[in-house]
Chains A and B, each alone.
Chain A
Amino acid sequence: MTLDARVRGDFPILARTVEGRRLVYLDSAATAQKPRPVLEALRLFYERSNASVHRSIHTLGEEATELYEAARDRVRDFLGARYREEIVFTRGTTEAINLVAQTWARRALAEGDEILVSDMEHHSNLVPWILLARERKLRLRAVPVTEAGTLDLGVMDRLLTRRTRLVALTHVSNVLGTINPVGEIVERAQSAGARVLIDGAQAVPHLPVDVEALGVDFYAFSGHKLGGPTGIGALYGRREVLEPLEPFFGGSESVREVWLDRVTWNDLPWRFEPGTPPIAGAIGLGAAVEYVTRLGREAIRLHDLTLVRDALEQLADLEDLVVYGPEDPELRAGVMAFNLPGIHPHDLAAALDREGVAVRAGHHCAQPLMRRLGVTGTVRASFFVHTGADDVAALGDALRRARETLGSGRLRPSAS
């Protein structure tokens, strides 16, 4: 029995219809649908144990704290981190990257230092560095993307110099689906003396991830792309790197003692979690992590690979359709961007929606990559554990019909 057949009943939302048809949800890279164990964990917490964490002495407070911290342990196991102090709950990947930029990088980097990013980054792994670079007179350099849709590691080697203090790259491209060779990148970066931050938002739903084995210094991901709630994610930060840092935001949980003229900081990881945290969110994330762990991350990867192969074949059957990213399915996770020439991505997505097929269209918050590809946007289909061959087939069929209805739009001159 395929994975999707086993788990589809776990996702209540898949029972609904769109435009009178079965929902074919192929927008998991934007946000994943939530399996029942996550919904149950949220409901149970609010119905039975809702209280603030860490300082409520009553029974509910104890339960809430226990559940919240147990979620942290689950995330630690999920990422293969050595210490629980290395797992900081954030609102998501974006906040996690900003946290590193405004704490570690602001302190460690000085004028003239360089940060190495790539042309395939999501804006969330560019804008925090652009802001910091402007303020601290740093230089951003970018590893180019090859014609094959992979990072140009040869050029990366040339860009890695004594000036490079940080390499900040995505694990999986949210457009091309490319799986970047993080282990290899870490080796090269570390021999140049640079720290490494990995944006894992699109990787954790598809691939086994082990931060210790990869050797990264920072790893960021969002819960909602993994089937967890929105507004919760995590940053892994190597303990000795986080230890000397001051908080990103100041607030109650960040401190040990407060005087009017000075403060002492709380221990890791709470130093970085001021204010009442998203307790239910963290518990929901813990449930999501447990869910995918129970399904088996190797099994999820194999399922993903089957879908990628299937989708590449289906889409290849559509004449003129351009698929972006590596041809080799082994180099891809379940994220696939494509275009039908002459049809605007938003029009194509609207036509697919008429058939109950939910995809994403636009620049995917990766405008440098769009420029590299020479397009303003693409359509993107993305998969999760419930995605099956029938979903991929529905995409192919809907694309064929959309081309018939929209295909005769003429090409107009482009603005320069």
Chain B
Amino acid sequence: MAGALYGGVILDRFRHPRFFGELPGADLVHEDVNPLCGDRLRVEVRLGPGGELETVRFQGDACAIATASADLLAEMVEGRPARDASEVDREAILGRLGAPVRPSRLACVNLPVGVLRGALRAIGGGPGPGASPDRARGTGGGSR
């Protein structure tokens, strides 16, 4: 049943995330919300001597897909230069999640991508303001 719902990678990363936690003394901190559901995610980054993302930690109150996506994203960018890190997009994460994600839940994958890019903007490593991980689907509010 669990496998049918989300697939093994999502459930494993949700239950046992490797990159969740706080990072006291982080160089970069950014947080944002998913306007569709109110989920909030925060990223903290410590930079290495060469400007690379030495340590990356996420925290927040988020669903299994957003949590697993954040955890995979952290794994994919840790140790890499900011420029490379900001290029990791939703498609790259979807490729690692190993299970189809419905259109209504793509915003859950977008959330960590947007939060990390927000953090990297502070050092000129992210795309310009207004850039969004994905605009193929609206992120407006909902009905009652």
* A408 to B12 alpha-carbon distance, docked (Å): 10
Query: Can you name the residue of chain B whose Cβ is closest to the Cβ of A382?
Result: B144
Task: Please pick, from A30, A351, A377, A413, the residue contacting B38 in the complex, using a CB distance under 8 A.
Answer: A377
Contacts of B108 in A (CB 8 A): 346
Contacts of B105 in A (CB 8 A): 346, 350
CB B122 to nearest CB in A, in angstroms, measures 17
Is A387 an interface position by the 8 A CB rule? Answer: no
* A347 to B15 alpha-carbon distance, docked (Å): 13
Is B41 an interface position by the 8 A CB rule? Answer: yes
* Contact yes or no, A346 B5, CB < 8 A: no
* Contact yes or no, B14 A365, CB < 8 A: no
Given A376-B37, A376-B38, A409-B15, A344 and B63 contact (CB-CB distance below 8 Å):
yes
Contacts of B21 in A (CB 8 A): 413
Query: Can you name the residue of chain A whose Cβ is closest to the Cβ of B43?
Result: A415
Query: Can you name the residue of chain B whose Cβ is closest to the Cβ of A414?
Result: B61
* Contact yes or no, B144 A29, CB < 8 A: yes
Residues of A111-135 at the interface with B, using a CB-CB cut-off of 8 Å, are: 122-124
Given A174-B144, A413-B21, A406 and B2 contact (CB-CB distance below 8 Å):
yes
Is B116 an interface position by the 8 A CB rule? Answer: no
Query: Can you name the residue of chain A whose Cβ is closest to the Cβ of B108?
Result: A346
* Contact yes or no, A377 B37, CB < 8 A: yes
* Contact yes or no, A413 B144, CB < 8 A: no
Chain A interface secondary structure, helix, strand, loop or mixed?
loop
Is A405 an interface position by the 8 A CB rule? Answer: yes
* A29 to B144 alpha-carbon distance, docked (Å): 7
* A363 to B36 alpha-carbon distance, docked (Å): 8
* A123 to B65 alpha-carbon distance, docked (Å): 26
* Contact yes or no, B5 A354, CB < 8 A: yes
Is B40 an interface position by the 8 A CB rule? Answer: yes
* A370 to B40 alpha-carbon distance, docked (Å): 13
In the A-B complex, the 3 residue pairs with the closest CB atoms:
A344-B63, A415-B42, A405-B2
For this complex, 20 residue pairs linking A to B, each with C-beta atoms less than 8 Å apart, are A225-B144, A344-B63, A344-B64, A347-B6, A350-B6, A350-B105, A364-B144, A365-B142, A370-B38, A405-B2, A410-B15, A412-B17, A412-B59, A412-B61, A413-B59, A414-B61, A415-B41, A415-B42, A415-B59, A416-B42
| Chain A residues close to B by CB (< 8 Å) | 29-31, 122-124, 174, 201-202, 225, 344-347, 350-351, 354, 361-365, 367, 370, 376-377, 401, 404-406, 408-410, 412-416
